[in-house]
Structures are given as structure tokens and as C-alpha cells.
Amino acid sequence: MAVDLSMPVLVVDDYKTMIRIIRNLLKQLGFTNVDDAADGTEALAKMRGRPYGLVISDWNMEPMTGYELLKEVRSDDQLKPTPFIMITAESKTENVIAAKKAGVNNYIVKPFNAATLKTKITAVLGDF
């Protein structure tokens, strides 16, 4: 089944420029319904307000990190199925494993390009 490019996508990052970059990359990839949040707390509130087809989240944020957001999402029966891609500037084996153990669907290391983003979204959602 083809990916619905009009599905709501939530980008979570405390750095406005990174949100802008990811928004523009998603726009270039064809996604038309992109929302954003500045940290895990705001993202969780938004996710409880409406369903999202994909969450792309940074790890390093306060007061709630992307890792904490992921664990909250995976422990919530309603939010649990939401595809979740983690993006971080720091890549340590233990972090990747911890994220995988917490139920992340894919993991992107900054800096990244549109091709990497597309590859990871395809791996999670299927071809588009």
C-alpha cells in the first residue's frame, strides 16, 4: 500500500532551524501535512490530541527527551503503533541499542540529507 503523503507527520526538535530543515525536506519528499513540537512534552500533548502517521524526533531536548517521549508513546495503548524515527547528533552504540530496545523504528544520525531521510521513512512506512 502506498504511503499517504497527506498524513500528519510530527517533527519534534528544540532547535527551530532543524525543524525548518526537516519540514523543507519532507515537503520536497511530498509530505503536505507536517506539524512540529519543541520537546517531548509538547509532542506527547499533540499526539494525544490527534493521530500522527509518523513521528520524527530529536533525542536531546528538555524537559522531556526524545528517548523519554519514545518510551511514553510505546507504553500508551493508543499511541503505541505510531511509527517513530529518532534523530541525533551523537551516535553511540549504547544509545542506538537503548532506542531500539525502547521500540524505535529507525535511527538517523545528524547531519543527514534528503536521501537518507527518504530511505529511513521508506524502511518504516514503505515505498512512496
Partner 1 sequence: MSASKKSIEPMLEDIASQIRGMKSDSLALPDILKLADVMVVSMRGFFDQLDASIYKELTDVSAFINNARSEIGRLQPANLKEKHFPEAGKELDAIVQSTEAATNTIMEQAELIMEADPEDMEAYHATVQAGIMEIFQACSFQDITGQRISKVVSTLVHIEEKIGALADVLGSSIEEVPIEETAEEKRARELLLNGPALEGEGIDQSEVDDLMGDASSQDDIDALFD
Using CB under 8 A as the binding rule, whether residue 88 contacts partner 1 is answered as: yes
Part of the chain binding partner 1 (CB under 8 A), chosen from 31-39, 41-49, 58-66, 72-80: 58-66
Which residue, 50 or 92, has its beta carbon nearer to partner 1? 92
Using CB under 8 A as the binding rule, whether residue 65 contacts partner 1 is answered as: yes
Identify the CA nearest to 85 among candidates 63, 29, 49. Answer: 29
Residue 83 contacts residue 52 (beta carbons within 8 Å) = no
Part of the chain binding partner 1 (CB under 8 A), chosen from 3-11, 31-39, 43-51, 85-93: 85-93
Applying the rule CB under 8 A, the residues between 98 and 117 that interact with partner 1 are: 100-101, 106-110, 112, 116
Q: Which three cell numbers stand for residue 63?
A: 524537559
Q: What one-letter code names the amino acid at 42?
A: E
Round to whole Å and give the CA distance between 41 and 96. 22
Using CB under 8 A as the binding rule, whether residue 124 contacts partner 1 is answered as: no
Of 74, 96, 118, 122, the residue at the interface with partner 1 (CB under 8 A) is 96
Residue 86 contacts residue 108 (beta carbons within 8 Å) = yes
Residue 37 contacts residue 58 (beta carbons within 8 Å) = no
Round to whole Å and give the CA distance between 40 and 65. 6
Residues that bind partner 1 (CB under 8 A): 17, 20-21, 24, 27-28, 59-60, 62, 65, 67-68, 88-93, 95-97, 100-101, 106-110, 112, 116
